[in-house]
């Protein structure tokens, strides 16, 4: 083992270890959410994951970004195979370990290079859409300093990684060619670049090493950057889609604790099941209705928050947002993530989501500690009440995030725990209670519609 191998081994252990450490904290954050049984239906869930996560099904609602994204995504998958080779080479001091694959290796390397070049093109297009064309959905009050820097940062890192790859391949190729040595693999893009590289053998060897190290260290840095970034979706999209809802979108969750109460009210003989008990056998404190803070949401809602790409498709399709209201489903999701990290673990090495208010670009009202919860502390009732529950946000999210569920949970808290519904809704509630209709009509008028229809029958009924 050379000193280079040992250094590589150390770097790799630190890189992956750090990532595991961050991932554990994120897992802990997600698990503060309420329990929800998501087991079963494995076949249907896998199929969904295959279609939506692997197959990018929902991306194809918008063809331009879908194609660009597809290039980067496939590039990422294929380049990962080369990363395996790099790790093996690094640990065992081999050179291009996978070359025993023969023709397959040729294809692999060639695909890799072509995709690498296409990724650079796609990244430039992405950068242009964000910074020059300024596609509308990339802006908005919740897109504060960090989310914007983050989005561009990823693009820059991707370019650096691809450039490192080409430096490594081209110098390696030229080094072999100059000595009339056979070089395993086939390199359609690097062969074109040979001319711009120096002819000094030592320098070429140095460049090859530099490219190799830059590529792998870059990937490890990128890996550890992910948990602070919207780019974490490249991992979280898969579990998130797997655990997405399988019921019709219009079906809102049932609150079982309320069902027991209502049944007991309607039927005095109804036996309310014993309240859940803690591990020590004592009854647990009853949970509140709806959600005030992150731990009142289901763990799937929290998983959502770590899968969000901040792409803004939800907000762009939201009727409330389109017509200038404060509500932005993306903001609800981002707030949930920021709140988790503020209250629980900040799993990250640096904490971009927690930078002072100055970095957030908006002035915030100072809030009392006990008021600093997800609801009110970050999400205002005004946002929540603007939602028409139309499901456009749910439909448009490419990774099956459901902002609507969180919105309804917070509305439930406002109504059931705080009785803080807007006045006109309270009027509607009492109409339903008293007249059985949301409007103030008398139940006895319910049959008036039939008046012109069959007067005779109607008289018979009312008689």
Rounded CA separation 228/151 (Å): 12
The answer to whether 297 and 401 have CB atoms below 8 angstroms apart is no
Q: Is there binding between residue 52 and ligand SF4 (CB under 6 A)?
A: no
Query: What distance lies between CA 429 and its chain's CA centroid?
Result: 36
Choose the one of ligand SF4, other proteins, none that binds residue 463, judging by a C-beta under 5 to 8 angstroms depending on kind.
Answer: none
Beta-bridge partner residues of 379: 375
Q: Is there binding between residue 391 and ligand SF4 (CB under 6 A)?
A: yes
x/- site string to ligand SF4, residues 297 to 326, per CB under 6 A?
A: -----------xxxxxxx--xxxx------
- Sequence-distant (≥ 6) Cβ neighbours of residue 336 within 8 angstroms: 294, 297, 301, 302, 304, 305, 374, 406
Q: Is there binding between residue 219 and other proteins (CB under 8 A)?
A: no
Select from 112-120, 254-262, 385-393, 445-453 the region that touches ligand SF4 (CB under 6 A): 385-393
x/- site string to other proteins, residues 35 to 64, per CB under 8 A?
A: --------------------------xxxx
Q: Is there binding between residue 397 and ligand SF4 (CB under 6 A)?
A: yes
Structure tokens at 6: 């040992």
Query: What distance lies between CA 232 and its chain's CA centroid?
Result: 7
Name the residue among 308, 356, 299 with its Cα closest to residue 334: 308
Give the residue, chosen from 362, 433, 456, 459, that forms a contact with other proteins under the rule CB under 8 A.
Answer: 433
Locus of tokens 């109504």:
415
For other proteins, the closer of residues 368 and 451 by Cβ is: 451
Interacting positions 386-405 with other proteins (CB under 8 A): 386-392, 394-396
Structure tokens at 66: 């879908």
Q: Is there binding between residue 65 and ligand SF4 (CB under 6 A)?
A: no
x/- site string to ligand SF4, residues 324 to 353, per CB under 6 A?
A: ---x-xx--x--------------------
CA dist 345 → 31, 340, 370 (Å): 11, 7, 19
Q: Is there binding between residue 396 and ligand SF4 (CB under 6 A)?
A: yes
Select from 2-10, 108-116, 151-159, 430-438 the region that touches other proteins (CB under 8 A): 430-438
Interacting positions 314-333 with other proteins (CB under 8 A): 316-317, 319-320, 322-327
Q: Is there binding between residue 392 and ligand SF4 (CB under 6 A)?
A: yes
- Sequence-distant (≥ 6) Cβ neighbours of residue 13 within 8 angstroms: none
Q: Is there binding between residue 448 and other proteins (CB under 8 A)?
A: yes
For ligand SF4, the closer of residues 122 and 308 by Cβ is: 308
* Buried-state track 412-448, b at ≥16 Cβ within 10 A, e below 16: bbbbeeeeebeeeeeebeeeeeebeeeeeeeeeeeee
Burial class (CB in 10 A: 0-12, 13-18, 19+), 230: buried
Chain contacts with ligand SF4 (rule: CB under 6 A): 308-314, 317-320, 327, 329-330, 333, 387-393, 396-397, 399, 401, 403-404, 407
């Amino acid at each position: 083992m050379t000193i280079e191998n040992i250094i590589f081994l150390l770097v790799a252990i630190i890189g992956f270890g750090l990532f595991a450490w961050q991932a554990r904290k994120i897992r802990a954050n997600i698990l503060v959410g309420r329990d929800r049984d998501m087991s079963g239906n494995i076949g249907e869930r896998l199929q969904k994951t295959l279609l939506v996560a692997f197959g990018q099904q929902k991306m194809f609602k918008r063809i331009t970004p879908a194609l660009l994204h597809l290039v980067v995504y496939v590039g990422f998958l294929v380049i990962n195979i080369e990363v395996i080779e790099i790790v093996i080479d690094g640990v065992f001091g081999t050179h291009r370990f996978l070359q025993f694959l023969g023709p397959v290796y040729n294809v692999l390397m060639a695909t890799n290079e072509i995709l690498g070049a296409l990724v650079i093109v796609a990244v430039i297009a992405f950068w242009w859409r964000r910074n020059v064309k300024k596609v509308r959905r990339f802006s908005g009050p919740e897109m504060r300093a960090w989310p914007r820097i983050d989005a561009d940062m990823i693009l820059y890192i991707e370019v650096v990684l691809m450039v490192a790859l080409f430096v490594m391949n081209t110098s390696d190729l030229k080094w072999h060619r100059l000595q009339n040595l056979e070089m395993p693999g086939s390199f359609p893009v690097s062969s074109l670049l040979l001319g711009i590289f120096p002819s000094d053998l030592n320098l070429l060897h140095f460049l090859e090493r530099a490219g190799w190290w830059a590529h792998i260290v870059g990937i490890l840095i990128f890996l550890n950057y992910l948990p602070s970034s919207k780019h974490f979706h490249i991992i979280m999209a898969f579990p998130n889609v797997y655990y997405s809802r399988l019921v019709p979108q219009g079906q809102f969750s049932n609150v079982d604790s309320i069902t027991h109460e209502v049944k007991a009210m309607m039927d005095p003989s109804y036996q309310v099941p014993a309240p859940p008990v803690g591990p020590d056998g004592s009854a647990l404190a009853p949970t509140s209705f709806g959600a005030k803070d992150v731990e009142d949401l289901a763990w799937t809602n929290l998983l959502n928050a770590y899968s969000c790409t901040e792409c803004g498709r939800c907000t762009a399709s939201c009727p409330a947002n389109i017509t200038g209201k404060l509500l932005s489903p993306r903001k609800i999701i981002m707030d949930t993530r920021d709140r988790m990290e503020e209250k629980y673990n900040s799993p990250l090495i640096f904490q971009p989501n927690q930078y002072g208010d100055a970095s957030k670009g908006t002035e915030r009202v100072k809030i009392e500690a006990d008021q600093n919860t997800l609801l009110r502390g970050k999400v205002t009732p005004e946002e929540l009440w603007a939602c028409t529950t139309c499901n456009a946000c749910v439909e448009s999210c490419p990774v099956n995030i459901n902002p609507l569920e969180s919105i309804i949970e917070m509305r439930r808290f406002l109504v059931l725990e705080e009785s803080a519904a807007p006045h006109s809704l309270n009027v509607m509630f009492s109409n339903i209670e008293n007249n059985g209709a949301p409007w103030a009509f008398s139940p006895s008028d319910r049959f008036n519609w039939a008046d012109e229809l069959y007067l005779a029958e109607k008289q018979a009924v009312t008689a």
